[in-house]
Amino acid sequence: MKICHKYRVPIVPFSGGTSLEGHFIQTRNGITIDFRNMGEIIQLHQDDLDVVVQPAVGWELLNEYLEQYGLFFPPDPGPGAEIGGMIGTGCSGTNAARYGTMREWVLSLTVVLADGTIVKTRQRPRKSSAGYNLTNLIIGSEGTLGIVTEATLKLAVLPQETSVAVASFPSVKQATQAVQEIVRKGIPVAAVELLDKEMMKCINAAGQTSRDWREEHTLFFKFGGTPNGVKEQIKETRNVVKQFGSKSFEFAKSQTEREELWEARKEALWSTLAMGGDNDSCWTTDVAVPVSRLSEVVSETRADMDRSGILGTIVGHVGDGNFHAFILYNDTNKHIAEGIVHRLVERAIAMEGTCTGEHGVGMVKRPYLETELGKEAVDMMRRLKLALDPLRLLNADKVC
């Protein structure tokens, strides 16, 4: 880093390579720092429920390691994501409804600044009022303020019992109203995911799951806790979804059934891709809105996709108002996909939402940042960037 700073060489950090908004694309002649050889789990503090890791540790590998200790790391983005990129984007995943985002699960970071200065953002206590929150400043900065070389992460205890349930609805509005009521009642579901009717059709057509599914707007639930607690969560959830028009509610009674019921959620993206031709690609993007506006934004986006004439499906982390659009396109109709994404982002921002709930800004969402946050907020970000990286060497042309 010191050498690059001396000779003004731009730097882009790279770990898992699963980000979706152009985060690790080189925009200037420079170098890429590949962290593939920094994938060590350095130290587990079992009694303190934290672990020290390097940036190329994958969250799935980390949870495989932690399982023997009865612990886990809750953020669960896409397969293959690694801790460095997860910190960079401030990601979350299906567990966010109960456990929150990456920001809630990082205790401290070791960061190398543009000039080579090494900073540890804080010590290991669960709380601290000592100075500015440098840890949170780095989370979500996408490698534009410093390069993360080590992270201390909080951990959670694995629940004694887990289960999965599925409920289908005649309309998106009824499904999202059910979610709002579950949140208001304080039912501690671990995850609640919405797959729209078009997505359920794709899953059946792709044939990548072990059963057929009702082709309706569908909520997938995860539950975790004590055995009695999970039973009570399932009972209360069943009562709520019935109240909002669900005619079908299934819950798992065994590990095999848990895997079978969650299988459709895991196969959502791949089932959409299976509907495309050899020359088709899938544009994956996300937005988030207040939960009270979720039904509106999903319904309008569904109608926009239907009018477009190209295939699009919707998956939502509806417990916190975040959802993803999967849009199939090729060279001849890419402009149509671009239009759908543009209108989706503008729609979300107009509903007091955000252009990105968990994927990050990168290059693709950068043009929308000022519309969402205002010129003053983006100017403040730029001043922070220039204070820490006055030569603009770190992941240039990203975020702000």
pLDDT string in tens for the chain (400-residue length):
999 999 999 999 999 999 999 999 999 999 999 999 999 999 999 999 999 999 999 999 999 999 999 999 999 999 999 999 999 999 999 999 999 999 999 999 999 999 999 999 999 999 999 999 999 999 999 999 999 999 999 999 999 999 999 999 999 999 999 999 999 999 999 999 999 999 999 999 999 999 999 999 999 999 999 999 999 999 999 999 999 999 899 999 999 999 999 999 999 999 999 999 999 999 999 999 999 999 999 999 999 999 999 999 999 999 999 999 999 999 999 999 999 999 999 999 999 999 999 999 999 999 999 999 999 999 999 999 999 999 999 999 999 9
**DSSP characters for 72-121?**
E-----STT-BHHHHHHHT---TTHHHH--GGGGEEEEEEE-TTS-EEE-
Residue 121 CA, chain-centre distance (Å), reads 24
Q: What are the E-state strand segments in 252-350?
A: 281-288, 312-317, 322-329
Distance CA 63, CA 252 (A): 23
For residue range 20-31, what is the model confidence (pLDDT) as tens digits?
Answer: 999 999 999 999
Domains of the chain: 2-20+27-157 (3.30.465.10), 161-266 (3.30.70.3450), 271-361+369-375 (3.30.70.2740)
Provide the residue type at 308 as one letter.
S
CB-neighbour burial class of residue 373 (10 A; exposed 0-12, middle 13-18, buried 19+): middle
Q: Are 289 and 348 in contact (CB under 8 A)?
A: yes
pTM over 0.85: yes
pLDDT score, position 353: 98
- From its phi and psi, is residue 3 left (phi > 0), alpha (psi between -120 and 50) or beta? alpha
pLDDT score, position 77: 94
pLDDT score, position 84: 97
Nearest partner of 186 among 98, 119, 106, judged by Cα: 98
pLDDT score, position 224: 97
pLDDT score, position 65: 99
How far CA 52 is from CA of 40, 100, 105, 106, 108, in Å, comes to 9, 20, 12, 10, 9
Distance CA 307, CA 357 (A): 25
Q: Are 297 and 287 in contact (CB under 8 A)?
A: yes
